[in-house]
Structure formats: C-alpha cells, structure tokens
Amino acid sequence: MSGSLLDASAVIGCPHGGRVSAATTSTGGVRIAGAAVVTAAHAPVVVTGCPHTVDGVPTPCVSVRWAGDSTGVLVDGAPALLDTSAAQCFTSASVPQGPPVVQVAQRKVIVR
C-alpha cells in the first residue's frame, strides 16, 4: 500500500462534510513538521458537524474506524495511517455511512 502519512494537521471529512479528528498523543511518537503521525492506535477518531439526515431525521457520522491493514510502517508499535488507508464513517448506532475523505494531507513523507 502506498500513500502519504497522515498527521494531526491532515484535513479529513466525512462524506457529508463533517470534520474528522484523531486523538493523537501530545508527547512522544513520530512527528512531521511538528504534527503527530496518526496511527491505528489513535482512538477514538471522532466526527463533528456532520449534517447528514435520512427522511428528515438527523443521522450524523460520529466516528471513523480504520481498517487494520498494515502499511509496513509502525509508529510506537501501531500501523501508521496513510491517506489511502481504508476506513468507514459510522453513526452512533454503528451504521456505516461511507468512507472519510482526505481533503488535505501533507506530502512530506510518502510510503511506497
């Protein structure tokens, strides 16, 4: 799998325009331009501001689950996430709503 490493400064959204935020550690780990690299261990990954509705009933995305695929790069023993890593957004009732959209990821480190 190839792609750019995701860090805490990456701009990621749900398919409906909500903002995705990973709970990265403030100390330790690997950093790119001062921002922590996001790994599969950074949970929860939360979504805020999703406006999605179904038949007029709010059904916002509230979380993202990343697939356990290994990128071949480990940070503190956990797989690093790439802008190409498989993921799914979910409602609070764990209903899948589609993959997150990586709008901006720094291209400073590319994994091939």
Percent of the chain exceeding pLDDT 90 equals 39
Whether the pTM exceeds 0.85: the reply is: no
Average pLDDT over residues 61-70: 83
Residues 3 and 112 sit within 8 Å (Cβ to Cβ): no
Reduce the DSSP state of residue 59 to 3 states and report it.
Answer: coil
55: amino acid identity, one letter: D
**What residue ranges do the domains of the chain occupy?**
3-111
The structure tokens listed for 104 are: 């901006």
- The whole-number pLDDT of residue 58 equals 97
**Residue 88 is inside which H or E element, if any?**
strand 87-90
Does 110 have pLDDT greater than 70?
A: no
Per the DSSP assignment, residues forming a β-bridge with 64 are: 89
pLDDT digits (tens, 9 = 90+) for 74-99: 888 888 888 888 899 999 999 999 99
The separation between the first and the last C-alpha atoms of the chain, rounded to the nearest angstrom, is: 7
